[in-house]
Structure 1
Amino acid sequence: MDQPSNASNPTDEAGPGPAVHFDNVGMRYGRGPEVLSDISFDLPRGSFQFLTGPSGAGKTSLLRLIYLAERPSRGLVSLFGEDTSVMERGALPAFRRRIGVIFQDFRLLQHLSVFDNVALPLRVAGQNVRQYGEDIVELLNWVGLGHRIDALPPTLSGGEQQRAAIARAVVSRPEILIADEPTGNVDPDMARRLLRLFVELNRLGTTVLIASHDIALIRSVNAPVLELAEGRLNRRARSA
């Protein structure tokens, strides 16, 4: 059984305060009802946790707060000790570069090859292809896309697009990795292979939060589980 680095004690911290802190957070869209209510939890630095719950429970909204796509209607969300509600707009890009995100809808750039999509975070960070070319080829081989390195996203299957999106999210070894149903379009063998990639990234120090409905996947790793139901975080359990 895979064991992430801090799964045995989710309160341990490898740095000054948690990577993510929610304190009594509520969130609503416009004038609608709250989709998240009274959410409080921490993601300690270097921890590995799952987020689960039925469709409509608020999982994607919670993730959007972490990767700064939304701000809370009330309460405190802090990243690396910084209150996101008072963060200046100019500071957001630097914070976002510290967070890798795997989206359900992939969000690959359709005019770029698989290689160039995966390389994008490194190019944005100012690295030259000579610095990262071999690493990207190795990563694409790991996720089973070595033979599709020059392919454009419209020619890829859903599972191939998902694997390319995962490679793009992890290539820069982000401080936080947020994954929204990252194995939903791949077969069980590839899902386990990708999970090993997330576990290894966690062992290197990345804080990992995976939203998933896949009970078998969740049970394959001895990690805490955050459970959402009707916008509320009901309890913290262990996956195995």
Structure 2
Amino acid sequence: MTEPPANPAPKALAEPVVRFDSVGMRYGRGPEILRDITFDLPRGSFQFLTGPSGAGKTTLLRLIYMARKPSRGLISHFGGDSASLSRRELPHVRRRIGMVFQDFRMLSHLNVFENVALPLRVAGRKRAEYAEDVAELISWVGLGDKMDAQPATLSGGEQQRVAIARAIVGQPELLVADEPTGNVDPAMGRRLLRLFTELNKLGTTVLIATHDITLVRALDVPILTLADGRLSVKGTRAA
């Protein structure tokens, strides 16, 4: 993986990667799933997102990824108002975000190597430039012997690891992961967490939504908790 560009400003002075200001979200005419959500994701931070099932964690992540628009309130990405983005600008901003979906979203006609390398291909990179890095990353997530395998032949845990590798292969400025260790054993979960922390050390902002208390307790980082449509910040484990 290539080295990320240097931040244009010191971490403390830089604009947050994502900012929510009094955001509300509802589907159709139903009740609000998220209410008055206000928070920042500081550049270079690592945070967990927790909360009971149905609390709105996946909805919040979709708003961050700009797969949904809020019903009210303001969301900014990388210092700019997301609502003002044109259809042409949206894909370019979204490429700065690595997203791990719960349903993996692998392309069935591509093998493991091609699925992981897809963000680099879309960015215009040549295979010769990234082949070694992609192969190394696939091996790191324990799928070195599956590079030519088709998605249909993989287990759920294997597909999840492919989705994680694809999300981080380009060292995005922001990584958002929805239950990234939900289908892997504890040992692989710890290995993936190390991968996330190493990516964070290189400058990527990381937000992981999880029910895994063991995972949350492994790092002394801020914890965002969703309950009854509202978000609270518990600070670090030490606090």
The bucket for the TM-score relative to the shorter chain is: over 0.9
Give the structure 1 partner of residue 202 of structure 2: 204
- Cα distance in 2 for residues equivalent to 1:235 and 1:135: 36
Give the structure 1 partner of residue 103 of structure 2: 105
| Letter of the structure 1 residue corresponding to residue 124 of structure 2 | G
Give the structure 2 partner of residue 17 of structure 1: 15
Question: What is the SS of the residue equivalent to 1:126?
Answer: coil
| Letter of the structure 2 residue corresponding to residue 204 of structure 1 | L
Q: 1:187 aligns with which of 185, 188, 196?
A: 185
Question: What is the SS of the residue equivalent to 1:138?
Answer: helix
- Cα distance in 1 for residues equivalent to 2:232 and 2:82: 24
Give the structure 1 partner of residue 149 of structure 2: 151
Give the structure 1 partner of residue 230 of structure 2: 232
Determine if contact 1:19/1:207 at 8 Å carries over to the other structure: yes
Give the structure 2 partner of residue 127 of structure 1: 125
- Cα distance in 1 for residues equivalent to 2:200 and 2:145: 27
Give the structure 1 partner of residue 28 of structure 2: 30
TM-score normalised to the size of structure 1? 0.93
- Cα distance in 2 for residues equivalent to 1:184 and 1:23: 30
Give the structure 2 partner of residue 141 of structure 1: 139
Runs of 4+ displaced beyond 6 Å: none
- Cα distance in 1 for residues equivalent to 2:141 and 2:237: 25
1:15 to partner: Cα distance: 5.4
1:208 to partner: Cα distance: 0.3
| Letter of the structure 2 residue corresponding to residue 228 of structure 1 | L
1:14 to partner: Cα distance: 5.1
TM-score normalised to the size of structure 2? 0.94
Question: What is the SS of the residue equivalent to 2:194?
Answer: helix
Determine if contact 1:21/1:42 at 8 Å carries over to the other structure: yes
Give the structure 2 partner of residue 62 of structure 1: 60
1:30 to partner: Cα distance: 1.1
- Cα distance in 2 for residues equivalent to 1:15 and 1:28: 33
Determine if contact 2:44/2:205 at 8 Å carries over to the other structure: yes
Determine if contact 1:102/1:180 at 8 Å carries over to the other structure: yes
Query: Within the alignment, does 1:219 sit opposite 2:208 as a pair?
Result: no
Give the structure 1 partner of residue 6 of structure 2: none
Instruction: Give a deviation string over 1:12-69, Cα, whole Å, max 9, x none.
Output: 9355310010111101111111110000000000000000000010100100011000
- Cα distance in 2 for residues equivalent to 1:74 and 1:59: 17
Question: What is the SS of the residue equivalent to 1:222?
Answer: coil
Q: Which runs of 5+ in 1 are unaligned?
A: 1-11
Percent sequence identity is 68
Determine if contact 1:15/1:45 at 8 Å carries over to the other structure: no
Q: 1:75 aligns with which of 65, 73, 76?
A: 73
Determine if contact 1:56/1:230 at 8 Å carries over to the other structure: no
- Cα distance in 2 for residues equivalent to 1:17 and 1:93: 21
Determine if contact 1:162/1:185 at 8 Å carries over to the other structure: yes
Matching of residues 170-185 of structure 1 within 5 Å: 170-185=168-183
